[in-house]
Amino acid sequence: AHGGGHVGEDTSFRWQCVEQPIGKLLFQRFLEGAPGLAAAGALWAELEAYERCEEAERRGAASALRKRFFTPGGAEHCSFLSAAAMATPTGEAPP
């Protein structure tokens, strides 16, 4: 084996920065400390919290997420997101 790596080594973002705990922690700390990227780190943390919340809390949590991150003028508006990412899901009233 040449190059020191093992065959089939996964170098994808998902594997390194989402599935690997230390990689995820380091990447989230990078986002928190980088100018202009802190909102992305906060959005990631809030989306993970949303995934863990009870079904009854989801509607209010989703509304708070939209106001904070997806609405121009929101506390941490993520203007780098595409229009499709910021669209209101089908069947929900806009904020």
Q: What tens digit of pLDDT does each residue of 60-81 get?
A: 999 999 999 988 888 898 888 8
Q: Is the residue at 81 inside a domain?
A: no
Angstrom distance (rounded) from CA 41 to CA 55? 24
Arithmetic mean of pLDDT, 84-92: 73
The mean pLDDT value of the chain amounts to 85
Task: Report the domain count for the chain.
Answer: 1
Element (H, E) at 85: helix 83-86
Is residue 84 situated within a structural domain? no
What lies within 8 Å, CB to CB, of 76 at 6+ separation is: 38, 39, 42, 43, 68, 69
Residue 39 lies in a domain: yes
- The residue range of the domain holding 20 is 13-75
If one compares 88 and 31, the residue with the highest pLDDT of the two is 31
Calculate what percentage of the chain has a pLDDT beyond 70.
85
**47 within a domain of the structure (yes/no):** yes
Predicted TM-score (pTM) of this structure: 0.73
